[in-house]
Structures are given as structure tokens and as C-alpha cells.
A and B are shown apart, each in its own frame.
Chain A
Amino acid sequence: MALAVNDLKVWYRTLRGDVKALDGVTFEVADGEIMGIAGESGCGKTTLGKALIRLDTRMKHVGGTVVLDDDELPLADDAAMRRYRYREVSLIPQYAMSAMNPTRKIGRMIRDLLAAHNVRYAEVLPELERRLGLVGLETDVLKRYPIELSGGMKQRVVLVLSTLLNPSLLIGDEVTSALDVSSQKAVARALVEFRDHGFVKSMIVITHDISVLFQVADTILVMYAGHLAEKAPAKTIINAPLHPYTKMLIGALPKVGDRYEEQQLEGIEGRPPSLLEPPAGCRFRDRCPLVHDRCAEAPPFREVAEGHHVACWAVS
């Protein structure tokens, strides 16, 4: 088991109280698994990714454990986490490609990054060049400035540099967003290839674009308002979802070939609850067509079939 997250709670401190962005999530990611996380904005998917690498000053580890390769990660201890960052857990944050230092050549930037982790650039250079080739980049990108590369090229550079030390877990937050479809496909394929080559053991791919997850992920975890809704193999989530939220979410996505005239898809009425004072029980209650009295109590995230977990009372 590469990653086991147990009842993890990470809240944001604000002046008006705690925002319960991640409120008790439990799941596992197997060796070699690419798990996608999908959900609307504000569902806690980015918080989950960030929590596994570094809690910023607003974030508070309220409870729960994260075990990576039999080692419990000291989430709340910033200094102790340093040993794991980049070497064991690597994160590609949102908009990483736009955050490259514009005044440094790519090679120099990678050298600085490695130096910060006490790794000599010359030692990993052959491997770095080999991997750049694998994602279809010339080695002379190292001599170029970020401004000289396209978005897709920059994102592939980010992917190569963040996996250079073969981390056990890679978290990619919206790595394929803001790219053209052809670059999106290249980056998404590179993710799968890196897993297949064993550069990273397992991966968490966070995106709001479920169709990309269908292409790359083995399993998909659907989150809603800080809770888990459903986790299942990617094909099952798309073709036979069980949680009413997943069903409505998938139903709201037009496939190529769906036409407005022929069949009108429906969105989901309403908005997710505020996480400042979230209601007790199932958080999807207010928007759910299947709501009944029992939903006042939070449903457990149960395994209903092999590898298929759902948190809903209506699913037995």
C-alpha cells in the first residue's frame, strides 16, 4: 500500500471560524495506482493535495493520519516533513508552469532545486536528459528561459523536474488545465508513462475535468464539500456511478455527439454548503433528489462492491 489516509481533517483558520475544507477523509492508493480526484471548486481536492506536502500557516491539522510506505508522515511538523518533500512526496501545484522564475534558464532552475535538496546536478543530468527526451523535449530546453517554451512544454518540464528523484507519490494539481487539447493529451500521456516506467510509484491527479481522468486514471475519487462521496475504478465512475452526486455530475457533462436539440442535459441545482458551519449529516442533502430522514446522519464511506466505496444511505 503506497498511501493510506485515515480520517484526515485539515481546517483553515479564519477570523470567522474554522473552514472545514477537509473533514475526515479515509482512502488508500495502491502501488502503481493513478487515482484521480474530481469535484467542484471548494470541495477540498486541492486542500487534500497540499495537506500531503505542506500545511501553510492558515492550515491546521485537526486529526487523522497519513501513512506512506509504512511511514507515518509528520504532517503537522513542518521541519520533519522536509525529509519527505520532493524525495518521497512531490507536488505539482496549480499553475506551476506559470510560476517558473522568468529570469532563470530552465537548467539553472533545476540545479537550484536539486541543490536545495542536496543533490548534485551533474549526477542526475544524464537521467534528466533522458526523461526530457521521453516527454518529447530536446535537451536544449535546459538552456532556454521559460518564456521561450509553450504551456505544454513548460508543463512537461515541470513534470520531469518534480519526479527526478523518483518519489513514491506524485500529486498533480490541475496539471492538464489551461492547456490546449493537444498539449493536454501529451501531458496526460506523459503522466501514465512515468508511472509505467516506475519513475513514480503512485499518483494523485487532481482536476475538475473528469474526461481527462477517464483517460489517465485507474480509479476516481469524487469529493463533495470536504467529504468523500465515491471512489471506484474510472470506468465504473463514468458508466455506473452509485452516489447521486456522481450521477448528476456525470450526467451534466456533454459527450462529443450530444446535441441540445436531441437531449438536454441537466445541471445540479443549488450550491455546496458553506464549510464554515457545515450542516451535520450528508452534505449533499440540500441538492439531493433522494434525500430522506436518515441523511441527517453522516453516511459512512462503505465498500459496496470490490474497490467501489460510496458514502450514501440510499446505496446498499
Chain B
Amino acid sequence: MLTLSGLDKVYRTGTFGTSDLHAVRQVSLDVQRGEVVSLIGESGSGKSTIGKMVLHLLSSTGGTITFDGRDVTKLGFRARRDYYRKVQGVFQDPFSSFNPIYKVDRTFETLRRSYFPRVSSASWREKLDDALAAVTLEPGDILGKYPHQLSGGQLQRLLIARALLLDIELLVADEIISMLDASTRIDVLNLLGELKGRGLGILFVTHDLSLGNYVSDRVVILYKGRVVERGDTSAVFDDPLHPYTRDLLASVPHLDRTWEEVEAQEAERTRRLAGRCLYHEDITAQGRSLGDEAEAVGGVPNGLGLVEHAPGHFVGCFRKAAEEECPAGPAVKP
């Protein structure tokens, strides 16, 4: 449904826009209907930038974003409006998404004014009740209240309900649970799981691996703007290959294992993969000379591409930052 291919974002920084910051490099991924794809990365990995580009809040500097076969990177005002009927976003801080001086109902009213001006009050009310029921909120508890009277979890579910009023097909959920309390967090996550069951595609942007793992079907691991590994959630979490993914998984505070225990468990894998680069090994094994590499991986330059190491499990060159050298040595340098 949503396909990103070779997406790039370069920010101009410095006093007179003299230097470039490559926030997103050649990112390709896709989201299908009825599927949650998690975009996992630390700060500065470009995960939010990607989400914002999909939502058309930022323009891209290269590559394409297609939605149902249509390129949406350059939409006019009118076309964008139609796009937003199908694609909506929910963001990190629910309190700043609402204007504190108005009742929360206003969020729905503005939506009605711009998208459903001809719907009668009675049928609008019915629609609203349906949307609130879908996010397990009681209309009586919510409507007519001010944002400060509701909890973060309730506000976040309200925003999802607002998106649902539009019959969306894709939801971009950018860190939507990181500001919520543990006791309500899981309700929002379960809601995502339920929406997925109803055929919605969800791009779930998060820095928290245990949460990313809970609902997502596939994960994309980003580091400094580049996809280092992606694949089915269980494949990536059970058999992390890229050094960055392994570091990340070893740093997550687990609830059932201490960091020392995780490190001990991972020691064997770490030893086996030390000084190697599966990406270059696989490319070579497939009989392609390294000179043809750029071509072999779909015209992606500078070794930013991925290789399918196992079915449905893709991994990129084992160097971490794009400027670094491949750990397997300069012999296989891209």
C-alpha cells in the first residue's frame, strides 16, 4: 500500500546553509494493509523524519513515496486533502496536540468542518460514537471535557478516534506511547493491534524495542538515517545480525534478564560475527563481483543497500556509520 523507495532527506545546516545533514539515506520499505511495521532507531536515526515525510509535513530531497501506486511526494493542496483522508498521524505528546483552552470536542468539530460539512448532526454524532467505541472510550466520559481533565492515554486514543473518523487506511504513529504511564500504555498498543485486525496499515515509529516487538509484524532498524536491518519481527529479534541491532538489543533493559545475562547469552553470536560482514559475504557468495555491487542491489550507491540473508530478513553492510569502513576490511570495501 505504502512504498518508500530510495528516500532521502538532506537538511541544510550551518550559518548560510553551508553544510548538509544527511538525515535519511536511501530508505526503502513498505507497509501493507493489516500490518504494523515498526521503525526503530535512537535519536538522530531519522525515524521521525521518515514519518513526517510520509505525512507530507516535510518534503523529501530524493526518492519516492507511493501510496497505492501513486507518487505522493509532490501533491498539490487539493490532492493533499484527499491524501489526508486516507493517511493520518498521531504524535508523541497528546497534551500539546490539543488546544488547552477549548474542550476536546473542538478537535472533532474542526475535522467535521473541513471534511464532512454536509453530514447531518445526528449522523455525525453516530459516526463519532462509533469511532469512540472503536478506541474503547465512553462518549459520556470524554465529550465536553477539557484536555487537562483527561489522562494522556485517553487523549491519545481520542486522537486515534479522530483519525478513524476519516476512514483512514494508513496511520503513522510517531512515539505515541512514550509519554504515557505503563498502566495505560498497553491499552493504546492493544488498540493498534485491533486496528491492524480491521485492515489498517500502521507505521509505528518508536525507540522502545520491547514495545516495537509487541505489536509489529515487521521491523525496520535505522541507524543514522540508514536502514541497517529489516525483516519479520521474530527473525530480527531472535537472530539479530547487524552489529548495531545487536548492540541495541543488548542495551534494552529487560524485565526477565539482567544486562550481564543478556551479554553472556549473546557472547557466542558476537564471537561468530566478529570482524565479518554478512552483507559483503552474501554478495560475494551470490557470485557478483564487488564492482557490480551497486547494480546488484538495485542501484543503491555507497553500499547503502540490503541483502536478503535469510527469507524475509534483510541486512546491510556491517559498518555502522556511512563514513566508517566495513569491519570485514578494506578488501571488500564498497
Contacts and interface: CB of A to CB of B under 8 A. Distances in A.
B210 A260 contact: no
Given A254-B189, A259-B213, A214 B255 contact: yes
A181 B190 contact: no
Contact of B253 (A40, A180, A214, A257): A214
Interface stretch (A94-102, A140-148, A182-190): A182-190
Of B183, B193, B214, B254, most buried by chain A (CB within 10 Å of CB) is: B183
B183 A188 contact: no
Interface string A161-189: 00000000000000000001110110011
Interface stretch (B74-82, B244-252, B293-301, B322-330): B244-252
A144 B151 CA distance: 40
Given A40-B182, A271-B151, A180 B255 contact: no
A210 B255 contact: yes
A316 interface: no
A210 B237 CA distance: 21
A261 B35 CA distance: 12
A260 B251 contact: no
Given A182-B247, A265-B190, A249 B182 contact: yes
A254 B209 CA distance: 10
B210 A181 contact: no
B183 A40 contact: yes
Contacts of A40: 181-183
A212 interface: yes
Contact of B182 (A182, A208, A258): A208
Contacts, number: 108
Nearest to B254: A256
Given A254-B210, A260-B214, A184 B183 contact: no
Of B190, B233, B249, most buried by chain A (CB within 10 Å of CB) is: B190
Contacts of B249: 256
Interface residues of B, number: 35
A268 B183 contact: yes
Interface string B237-274: 10000000001110111111011000000000000000
Of A188, A249, A260, A265, most buried by chain B (CB within 10 Å of CB) is: A260
Contact of A267 (B187, B193, B215, B256): B187
B9 interface: no
B61 interface: no
A86 B255 CA distance: 33
Contacts of B97: none
A314 to B, nearest CB: 19
A172 to B, nearest CB: 15
A193 to B, nearest CB: 13
A209 interface: yes
A170 B213 CA distance: 34
Contact of A182 (B181, B193, B251): B251
B207 interface: yes
Given A184-B251, A185-B251, A238-B255, A267 B186 contact: yes
A118 interface: no
Given A180-B207, A211-B255, A215-B259, A260 B183 contact: no
Nearest to A39: B181
Given A181-B207, A215-B259, A254 B254 contact: no
Interface in A211-239: 211-212, 214-215, 238
B168 interface: no
B42 A180 contact: yes
Contact of B248 (A182, A254, A255, A257): A182
Interface in A246-264: 248-250, 252-261, 264
Given A215-B259, A257-B237, A249 B183 contact: yes
Nearest to B153: A267
Contacts of B284: none
A248 B213 CA distance: 20
Given A257-B213, A264-B190, A268-B183, A181 B43 contact: no
B252 A267 contact: no
Interface in A101-121: none
A251 B326 CA distance: 42
B183 A267 contact: yes
Nearest to B250: A185
Nearest to B196: A260
Nearest to B194: A260
B189 A211 contact: no
Contacts of B42: 180-182
Given A184-B253, A210-B255, A211-B255, A253 B182 contact: yes
Given A250-B255, A259-B233, 15 more contacts: A40-B182, A180-B42, A182-B42, A185-B251, A185-B259, A188-B253, A211-B252, A211-B255, A238-B255, A255-B210, A255-B256, A256-B237, A260-B215, A265-B214, A267-B183
29 contacts: A151-B43, A180-B42, A180-B43, A180-B207, A181-B42, A181-B209, A182-B42, A184-B253, A185-B259, A208-B181, A208-B182, A210-B182, A210-B255, A211-B252, A211-B254, A211-B255, A252-B182, A254-B211, A254-B213, A255-B256, A256-B252, A256-B254, A258-B213, A259-B233, A260-B215, A266-B190, A267-B183, A267-B186, A268-B183
**10 closest A-B pairs (Cβ-Cβ)?**
A180-B42, A211-B253, A260-B193, A267-B187, A268-B183, A254-B214, A181-B251, A40-B181, A267-B186, A185-B251
